[in-house]
Amino acid sequence: MSSKILMPALSPTMTEGVINKWLVKVGDIVKAGDIIAEIETDKATMEVEAVDEGKITHLLEKKAGSQVPVNSVIAIIDGDKNESIQNLIIEKEKPKEKNKKTEEDLNLDKNIQVNENSIHVKSDDRIKASPLVKKISKEKNIDLITINGSGPDGRIIKRDLETYDNTKAPTQDINLRHEVIQPSTMRKVIAKRTLEAKQQIPHFYLTIESNVSKLIELRKKINEKNSVKISFNDLIVKALAMAMKKNPKTNVYWQNDQIYKLNDIDVSVAVAIDEGLITPIVKKVNSKGLNEISNEIKELAKLAKTNSLKPEQYTGGSITVSNLGMFGISEFAAIISPPQASILAVGKIIQKPIVVNESIEIGHTLKSTLSADHRVLDGAVAGKLLKDFNDIMEDPFKIWIQSTDMEVI
């Protein structure tokens, strides 16, 4: 009896995947648990195992970048060799939709609008013109790209050249010459999810400026004696978890018209990789010390950059920290990553004059912007979270006290 191997759903958000590499070939004998392929998901590259024992009789042809829907057949064990695997794929694209998409893509590649008079720039290899027209255009130094043809299907005819005024030809921007880059699976998912997040989640934003002079001193003292080098991001993650513990109403998310309250405080940390952005999660941050948090963030970042994260390491989370301070960004607002209800965007530390006890001193400030989902968080609730975070950042000794794995300073 034949056995079908399906494209697995390797994470709750996965709807399709790409077969990066087959590790078996037709005719190979496999047993349950054998690794047969590498699949690129929306977040990472994962391995797919055989579920039964037998001979591989069919493999879905691997085309670069081609998307395969979840639960579609990708391989068959002990199947009928006379039957094509294409006939066994569960989810097929509707021919009409596929043709429509192809036509739209063709039109997009063909023409780019350059002004309100609907003049189009066409790619050189798709200009529709007769040999006579091309000959005349060369003799008169006329660029056919700038002409809209009046013949059938936009074909440029002799009459178009006779009415052409070379002095009124539209100025071409060399930037309109372009190449089409096929986005990766991760980039497509990022594009889809961020669009959905901005369209479906009612964002509101709160910004606070913290005096982090004491935080800088604390980090310096810690790193003088500590075996693990603590970063400002480690301190921020711990401070945010402490603030969220004081505000349990913020450890929630909205889904299917219901509010879900989380028991643990899991903080996602945005990590930039070549293909885009991924947010691995530090679990139960409120019960961990700085050393443990720092080591875990470093390890998760390493796994993220090698596409080795497991779904449970990047799925869920209470809140995300996105820090662009290392790029010189002083302030920004981030897009919430569903199903979370908030994300904290952190800028760089700036040295400037500040008022302390009614006198001006040179200090260090840091701006943090909280993006919140108004369906589940009101302004006062989100504002209290940000205020408590600010208080901890300005009096960071509390962070050290709650980190039992730290050296005495």
**Cα(156)–Cα(150) distance, rounded to whole angstroms?**
6
Angstrom CA distances, 47 to 22, 61, 68, stand at 10, 17, 15
CA 358, 361, 366, 369: dihedral to nearest 10 degrees? 30
Pair 230, 219: CB distance under 8 Å: yes
**Cα(59)–Cα(7) distance, rounded to whole angstroms?**
12
| DSSP per position, 86-114 | GGG-SS---HHHHHHHHHHHHHHHHEEE-
Work out the widest C-alpha separation in the chain, in whole angstroms. 88
Residue 265: exposure state from Cβ atoms within 10 A (0-12, 13-18, ≥19): buried
Structure letter (DSSP) for residue 382: H
Would residue 374 show up in a list of annotated catalytic residues for this protein? yes
- Which of 242, 284, 229 lies closest to 396, judged by CA? 242
**Cα(295)–Cα(269) distance, rounded to whole angstroms?**
13
Q: Indicate which residue of 120, 203, 364, 374 is catalytic.
A: 374
Pair 154, 148: CB distance under 8 Å: yes
Place of tokens 């959905």: 196
Pair 280, 314: CB distance under 8 Å: yes
Q: Which helix (H) or strand (E) segment is 342 a member of?
A: strand 342-356
- Which of 387, 304, 372 lies closest to 340, judged by CA? 372
**Cα(345)–Cα(323) distance, rounded to whole angstroms?**
6
Pair 375, 202: CB distance under 8 Å: yes
Any idea what the Cα angle at residue 247 is, between residues 246 and 251, rounded to 5°? 120
Q: Which helix (H) or strand (E) segment is 373 a member of?
A: strand 359-373
Active site residues: 374
